[in-house]
C-alpha cells in the first residue's frame, strides 16, 4: 500500500546543484540549500531536475545528490527524487536506488528527445510505475515541440497505476486542461505547475496542488500561494508582481536561469558561488548588472514589512 503520509502541497522548489571551483558537487553547500528550504517552511523539495542541471550529472552523481539530501533532511522535509533518463531500464535503476536511499516520492520526466506516439510513452511510463509500486510517483511533461500528454492518457495511466499520484505540466494556457484533468481523475492526481511558477495565479483557482519553481524565491511564492488560496487576491497579485521580473528574465534561457538562481542564493547568503558546469551560459556585462539589480529588489522585498514575509537570517560568515 502506498504511504498516504507522502501527501504534500504548496511550493515544491527545485534544489540547484552547487559546484566547487573545479565543478565537483559541493555536498556541504547542498546541505545548506536543504536547510534553507526547511527554514522557509517548505514541505518538500525536488532534485536533480532541469533546474539542478541533471543533464550534466553522471547517473552516480544523480543518486549521490538525492542520498545527501535524504540523509541531511532526516525526515524534516520530503525529498522528491527525479529519476529522469530516456532509457527505461536506466530510469528504473535510478528510481529503485532512490527509493532504497529513502526518497519520499520519485519523479520522472516524459522522454521528449524525439517525438514518440502516446502508446510508446504509455508503455514507458507504465513499466516505470510498476517497477516501484509502493512509492508515489510524480510525472513531469515538458514538451517544447507540441502538447503534453492527453487527458485520456492521464486517466488511463491513473486507473492502471495507483502510485501515479502527481502530475507536473509546463505549458501556457493550460487552465482548461487542468480543470478537465481534475474532474476526470476526481482529484486523485495532484497537479503541479512548473516553469518558475509563471502561471500560478491563473491555476490556483482551478485547483492545482502546488507549483515547482526555483529555490531562491520559494518562500515568497509560498506566501503568494497561501494568499491566493485563501482568497486574498489583491495581496497575492501585488506580491507576485514584485517577484515576476526576476522570474521572467531568468527563464529566457535555462542556462541563464542557473546563473540567476545561484546569484540570488548568493545575495541571500546561502551559496558562495554561481558556478554551473560547462557548457554554461556566459552573461554579458549588461545582463550581470541587471540580474544584480533584480536580485537586490528581491532582497528589499524580503525586508519590506508591508508584505509580511519573515526574511531568513542571512549567513554573513560565508
Q: Is 1's pLDDT higher than 70? A: no
Burial of 223 (0-12, 13-18, 19+ CB in 10 A): buried
Cα separation, 209 vs 203, whole angstroms: 9
Strand partners, 164: 137
Q: Is 313's pLDDT higher than 60? A: no
The Cα-based distances of 71 to 21, 37, 101, 283, 285 in angstroms read 25, 15, 8, 35, 40
Domain at 4-307: CATH architecture: Alpha-Beta Barrel (3.20)
279: cis peptide before it, omega within 30°? yes
Per residue in 250-299, pLDDT (tens digit) is: 999 999 999 999 999 999 999 999 999 999 999 999 999 999 999 999 99
Domain ranges of the chain: 4-307
Q: Is 159's pLDDT higher than 70? A: yes
DSSP-derived secondary structure letter, 172: S
Per residue in 230-258, pLDDT (tens digit) is: 999 999 999 999 999 999 999 999 999 99
Cα separation, 63 vs 279, whole angstroms: 22
Per residue in 28-46, pLDDT (tens digit) is: 999 999 999 999 999 999 9
Per residue in 99-151, pLDDT (tens digit) is: 999 999 999 999 999 989 999 999 999 999 999 999 999 999 988 878 899 99
Q: Is 311's pLDDT higher than 50? A: no
Cα separation, 47 vs 228, whole angstroms: 26
Cα separation, 136 vs 46, whole angstroms: 14
Angle between helix axes 151-160 and 118-131 (nearest 10 degrees) is: 30
Per residue in 80-108, pLDDT (tens digit) is: 999 999 999 999 999 999 999 999 999 99
Per residue in 195-236, pLDDT (tens digit) is: 899 999 999 999 999 999 999 999 999 999 999 999 999 999
Cell of residue 117, nine digits:
506516439
Cα separation, 292 vs 209, whole angstroms: 32
Report the run of H or E that residue 81 belongs to, with start and end: strand 78-82
> How would you classify the pairing of strands 105-109 and 10-11?
unpaired
Using a cut of 0.85, tell me whether the model's pTM lies above it: yes
Amino acid at each position: 500500500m502506498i504511504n498516504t503520509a507522502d501527501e504534500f502541497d504548496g511550493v515544491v522548489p527545485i534544489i540547484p546543484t552547487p559546484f566547487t571551483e573545479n565543478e565537483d558537487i559541493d555536498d556541504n553547500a547542498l546541505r545548506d540549500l536543504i536547510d534553507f528550504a526547511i527554514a522557509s517552511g517548505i514541505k518538500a523539495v525536488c532534485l536533480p531536475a532541469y533546474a539542478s542541471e541533471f543533464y550534466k550529472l553522471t547517473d552516480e552523481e544523480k543518486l549521490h545528490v538525492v542520498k545527501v539530501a535524504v540523509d541531511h533532511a532526516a525526515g524534516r522535509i520530503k525529498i522528491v527524487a527525479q529519476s529522469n533518463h530516456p532509457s527505461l531500464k536506466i530510469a528504473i535503476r535510478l528510481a529503485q536506488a532512490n527509493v532504497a536511499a529513502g526518497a519520499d516520492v520519485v519523479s520522472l520526466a516524459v522522454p521528449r528527445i524525439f517525438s514518440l506516439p502516446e502508446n510508446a510513452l504509455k508503455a514507458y511510463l507504465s513499466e516505470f510505475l510498476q517497477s516501484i509500486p509502493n512509492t508515489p510517483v510524480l510525472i513531469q511533461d515538458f514538451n517544447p515541440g507540441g502538447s503534453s500528454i492527453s487527458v485520456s492518457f492521464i486517466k488511463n495511466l491513473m486507473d492502471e497505476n495507483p502510485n501515479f499520484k502527481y502530475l507536473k505540466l509546463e505549458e501556457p494556457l493550460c487552465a482548461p486542461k487542468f480543470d478537465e484533468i481534475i474532474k476526470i481523475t476526481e482529484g486523485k492526481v495532484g497537479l503541479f505547475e512548473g516553469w518558475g511558477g509563471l502561471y500560478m495565479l491563473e491555476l490556483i483557482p482551478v485547483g492545482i496542488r502546488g507549483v515547482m519553481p526555483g529555490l531562491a524565491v520559494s518562500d515568497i511564492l509560498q506566501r503568494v500561494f497561501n494568499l491566493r488560496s485563501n482568497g486574498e487576491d489583491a495581496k497575492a497579485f501585488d506580491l507576485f508582481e514584485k517577484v515576476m521580473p526576476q522570474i521572467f528574465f531568468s527563464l529566457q534561457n535555462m542556462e541563464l536561469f542557473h546563473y540567476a538562481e545561484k546569484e540570488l542564493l548568493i545575495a541571500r547568503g546561502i551559496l558562495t558561488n554561481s558556478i554551473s558546469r560547462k557548457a554554461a551560459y556566459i552573461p554579458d556585462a549588461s545582463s550581470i548588472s541587471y540580474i544584480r539589480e533584480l536580485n537586490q529588489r528581491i532582497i528589499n522585498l524580503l525586508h519590506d514589512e508591508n508584505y509580511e514575509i519573515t526574511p531568513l537570517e542571512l549567513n554573513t560568515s560565508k
